[in-house]
């Protein structure tokens, strides 16, 4: 049945999926079509049961169909699904975020992590009056044009588009450095400092497989002058600890991007930070950013219910312990069977690299 479904999906959806990674292309096999889920288990159209280690890329930190989150969604839906006006709930949610994330004084809600990053970059450029941004090799920050860039020829630090459909002109302001390479970042910063608007970094590289920041690296990024430091905490926010990676490492960025967990697996993203920067957004300032469904009541309710649970019950020790156990088990099996692998782990975030 999966195969039939996949065949019919491919007729009407490019590649049969609405996000490329779901097609299983890099690991083989055909996509699994999921019908329902509960806790840590998902069930496919054949009623086959799977243990879900992915949990919507971390968005479902509370597991599937958490009773309190589902209840919040239902209660809210009964009263209308979107108003296109301001709501009290958005103010309460913003307060939860501002209280949770140390560096966030003001926050704006969007619908995805992509939107959060795209808007934060625009804001940083407006604030500094500069054009260039520095990102790190391999880091994924969503699918907006200027961030789908990869290293160029190696002769310059300038990048090239990492997809068809993005003009070279759109990525020419995106610089790329290897993560953890202070010397290279220093070199780029000193060369481009007059035009460097922002440094954007996942404080723990998590989307591309886990790479931890070496001691002093984030501190060094924080010390760069006249440039906006953006933490992409779409994965690490509310994941490493309630206050995110910035609380975990004790480093305050200027702007922070959030997604995944913040919406309780409904479409929510957010970006926030220093009030003087955030106040440049329309209608207070002249940096345009908008969204028909931004602050959507149902999505915000799901996010709020999730954050309240995370705040009330300190789950982080527990999930770290679980991940420790899983990782040491995997390592033991690998040793016993002679499989060479490397596990990078921090808190509940880990990934396996099949090499020494």
Ligand X SMILES: *Cc1c(COP(=O)(O)O)cnc(C)c1O
Binding site for ligand X (CB under 6 A): 57, 112-114, 117, 140-142, 202, 207, 232, 234-235, 259, 269
Measured from the CB atom, is 192 or 221 closer to ligand X? Answer: 221
Active site residue 162: no
Cα separation, 22 vs 14, in Å, equals: 12
Closest residue to ligand X, judged by C-beta, is 113
Q: Whose CA is closest to 129, among 289, 288, 287?
A: 287
Question: For residue 352, which phi and psi values (nearest 5 degrees)?
Answer: -105, 130
Q: Provide the β-strand partners of residue 228.
A: 198
Residue of 127, 135, 140, 254 with catalytic role:
140
Q: What are the helix (H) ranges across 138-274?
A: 168-171, 182-192, 217-222, 244-249
Cα separation, 249 vs 320, in Å, equals: 16
Active site residue 260: yes
For residue 84, the minimal CB distance to ligand X (Å) is: 22
Cα separation, 282 vs 293, in Å, equals: 17
Give Cα 37 to chain centroid, integer Å. 22
Measured from the CB atom, is 14 or 20 closer to ligand X? Answer: 20
Cβ–Cβ under 8 Å, residues 121 and 230: yes
Measured from the CB atom, is 143 or 193 closer to ligand X? Answer: 143
344: tokens are 């990078």
For residue 130, the minimal CB distance to ligand X (Å) is: 22
Measured from the CB atom, is 112 or 296 closer to ligand X? Answer: 112
120: tokens are 């934060």
Kindly report the length of the chain.
Answer: 356
For residue 296, the minimal CB distance to ligand X (Å) is: 14
Give the three-state DSSP class for 272. Answer: strand
Q: Give 70-116 as a DSSP string.
A: HHHHHHHHTT-S--SS--HHHHHHHHHHHHHSTT-SEEEEESSHHHH
Residue of 106, 132, 232, 247 with catalytic role:
232
Measured from the CB atom, is 119 or 227 closer to ligand X? Answer: 119
289: tokens are 């950013």
- What's the alpha-carbon Rg for the chain, to the nearest Å? 21
Measured from the CB atom, is 196 or 234 closer to ligand X? Answer: 234
For residue 235, the minimal CB distance to ligand X (Å) is: 4
For residue 257, the minimal CB distance to ligand X (Å) is: 7
220, with CB counted inside 10 A (0-12, 13-18, 19+), is: middle
Active site residue 186: no
For residue 117, the minimal CB distance to ligand X (Å) is: 6
For residue 193, the minimal CB distance to ligand X (Å) is: 26
Measured from the CB atom, is 192 or 257 closer to ligand X? Answer: 257
Cβ–Cβ under 8 Å, residues 283 and 62: no
Distances (CA, A) of 23 to 58, 107, 209, 303: 19, 34, 18, 28
- Active site residues per annotation: 140, 232, 260
């Amino acid at each position: 049945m999966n195969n039939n479904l996949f065949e019919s999906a491919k007729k009407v959806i490019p590649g049969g999926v609405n996000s490329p990674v779901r097609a299983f292309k890099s690991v083989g096999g055909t996509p699994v079509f999921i019908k329902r889920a509960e806790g840590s288990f998902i069930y496919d159209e054949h009623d086959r049961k799977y243990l879900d280690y992915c949990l919507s890329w971390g968005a479902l930190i509370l597991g599937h169909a958490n009773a309190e989150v589902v209840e919040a969604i239902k209660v809210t839906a009964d009263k209308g699904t979107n108003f296109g006006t301001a709501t009290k709930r958005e103010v309460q949610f913003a307060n939860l975020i501002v209280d949770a994330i140390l560096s966030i004084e003001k926050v704006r809600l969007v619908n995805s992590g992509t939107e959060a990053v795209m808007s934060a970059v625009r804001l940083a450029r407006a604030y500094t009056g500069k054009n260039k941004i520095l990102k790190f090799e391999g880091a994924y920050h969503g699918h907006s044009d200027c961030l789908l860039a990869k290293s160029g020829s190696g002769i310059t630090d300038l990048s090239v588009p990492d997809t068809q459909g993005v003009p070279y002109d759109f990525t020419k302001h995106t610089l790329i450095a290897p993560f953890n390479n202070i010397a290279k970042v220093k070199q780029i910063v000193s060369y481009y400092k007059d035009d460097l608007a922002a440094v954007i970094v996942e404080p723990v590289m998590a989307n591309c497989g886990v790479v931890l920041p070496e001691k002093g690296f984030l501190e060094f990024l924080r010390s760069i002058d006249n440039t906006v430091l953006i933490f992409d905490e779409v994965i690490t926010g509310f994941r490493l600890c309630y206050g995110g990676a910035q609380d975990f490492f004790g480093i305050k960025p200027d702007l922070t991007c959030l997604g995944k967990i913040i919406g309780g697996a409904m479409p929510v993203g957010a970006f926030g930070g220093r009030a003087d920067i955030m106040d440049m957004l329309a209608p207070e300032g002249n940096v345009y950013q908008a969204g028909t469904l931004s602050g959507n009541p149902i999505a915000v309710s799901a996010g709020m219910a999730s954050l309240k649970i995370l705040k009330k019950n300190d789950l982080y020790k527990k999930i770290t312990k679980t991940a420790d156990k899983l990782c040491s088990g995997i390592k033991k099996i690998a040793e016993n069977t002679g499989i060479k692998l490397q596990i990078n782990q921090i808190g509940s975030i880990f990934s396996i690299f099949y090499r020494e």
